Amino acid sequence: MAYLRLREVVKSYDGKTNAVDDISIDVERGEFITLLGPSGSGKTTTLLMIAGFENPTSGVIELDGYNLVLSRPYERNIGMVFQNYALFPHMTAAKNVLFPLKMRRFPKKDIKARAERMLELVGLRRFADRYPRELSGGQQQRVALARGLVFNPDVLLLDEPLGALDKNLREQMQVEIKRIHREVGITMIYVTHDQTEAMTMSDRIAVFCNGKVEQIGSPLDVYHRPANRFVGEFIGDSNFLAGRVDQSRPGWIELSRIGSVRVAKQATLPAGDIDLMIRPERLRLRAPGETDGTDNRIDLTIDDIINYGDSILVIGKTHGLPLRARIVGGDPAVLRPGATLPLAWAPVDAHVLARR
């Protein structure tokens, strides 16, 4: 049995529209799982129901076999870290971390040492006597993280905790949170709309859309083998080419305007109309005179380029259809608007999706 179980959970605020619509998720002990999706997709509402700040309209939420719906928020041994830090401005960093221990009536002889260990874990022991206004945004977030961990919660919930930080600091905190997760071994549930955060930090990702879970899997699974077009579009950059499975030729797809292309074997290929997904980085430049082999070939007419330094994103069309390719080591002088770029991709680098 999973450590944390959500079964057929529904949340409606008005009795007509479901903010969370019949979701079921199993979380293992010690797992880092991210709830990823656009604003309004139901991920934060799900987090609040686990914390007890919202009650489900129906369904079951269990922690280690106990029905959490029967208990109030303060009766649940669950920590929470908010995006806005929610630190007490009149308390030092140390006193902010001590606060949940006092509220839970931990023995006085233990609480100071416990708070010091937690500040050490997040790298802030020497800032223990500073007030939140004297700390940077990243330091305040570390205090909030220490406060959420100090009482040994069964689960730590993190609601977009890095949203207010700049890019460099956000990347540093991603590494820090993952390090702390490894060292402490606590079950963490992380909410974000940032795909990079989800891919970098998670053991598994649950992708939300319109109150439903579209897919749950490892970061590489949801990136390379999305369950549907929404997941493929939301996570990373994608090309989608419309077509149909050629039932008379196993391993071939007939693409509209383009013709037949090879695809790798999937567990099942959907019948009828399909979308062939190819990530821009899986398209490569064809070598001069390259004619044989199993790779698919395609020509792209360049409309524009974006130079990222380590790679160049080429934006254009093939047979009048939009196409994007990310080229490493390309010559910007050659990659100019109006030029034709010979590309290829391996059958294994495309993914076939049934069209809804």
pLDDT tens column, 169-218: 888 889 889 999 999 999 999 999 999 899 999 999 999 999 999 999 99
The enclosing domain of 192 has a CATH number of: 3.40.50.300
Q: Are residues 268 and 131 in the same domain?
A: no
Q: What is the pLDDT of residue 267?
A: 61
Would residue 290 count as lying in a domain?
Answer: no
Q: Are residues 12 and 142 in the same domain?
A: yes
Domain boundary among the residues 229, 247, 265 is at 229
SS3 category, 80: strand
Of 21-35, 159-173, 297-311, which range is least confident?
Answer: 159-173
pLDDT tens column, 138-172: 899 899 999 999 999 999 999 998 887 788 888 88
Q: What is the pLDDT of residue 237?
A: 92
Would residue 289 count as lying in a domain?
Answer: no
Q: Are residues 143 and 213 in the same domain?
A: yes
Query: Band of the pLDDT at 333, cuts 50, 70, 90?
Result: confident
Q: Are residues 79 and 146 in the same domain?
A: yes
299 CB contacts (<8 Å, ≥6 apart)? 318, 340, 341, 342, 343
Q: 341 pairs with which residues across the strands? A: 300
Q: What is the pLDDT of residue 168?
A: 83
Q: Are residues 305 and 208 in the same domain?
A: no
Q: Are residues 27 and 78 in the same domain?
A: yes
Q: Are residues 218 and 162 in the same domain?
A: yes
SS3 category, 117: helix
Would residue 286 count as lying in a domain?
Answer: no
Would residue 287 count as lying in a domain?
Answer: no
Give Rg (Cα) of the chain.
Answer: 25
* 83-120 per-residue burial string, b: 16 or more CB within 10 A, e: under 16: bebebeeeebbbbbbbbbbeeeebeeeebeebbeebbe
Number of domains present in the structure of the chain = 2
How far is it, in rounded angstroms, from Cα 20 to Cα 43?
A: 8
How far is it, in rounded angstroms, from Cα 310 to Cα 337?
A: 20
pLDDT tens column, 45-97: 999 999 999 999 999 999 999 999 989 998 899 999 988 878 999 999 999 99
DSSP 15-46: SSSEEEEEEEEEE-TT-EEEEE--TTSSHHHH
Q: Which residue type does 283 have?
A: L
Domain boundary among the residues 229, 249, 266 is at 229
Residue range(s) defining the domain that contains residue 249? 237-281+296-354
Q: Are residues 63 and 212 in the same domain?
A: yes
Q: Which residue type does 197 have?
A: E
User: Considering only CA atoms, which of 78, 62, 79, 82 is closest in space to residue 70?
Assistant: 62
Whether the CB-CB separation of 30 and 187 falls below 8 Å is answered with yes
- Sequence length of the chain is 356
User: Considering only CA atoms, which of 247, 235, 243, 238 is closest in space to residue 323?
Assistant: 238
Long-range Cβ pairs for the range 16-21 (8 Å, 24+):
18/57, 18/211, 19/45, 19/211, 20/45, 20/46, 20/49, 20/56, 20/211, 21/210, 21/211, 21/212
Query: Band of the pLDDT at 229, cuts 50, 70, 90?
Result: very high
Token readout for 232 is 């493929």
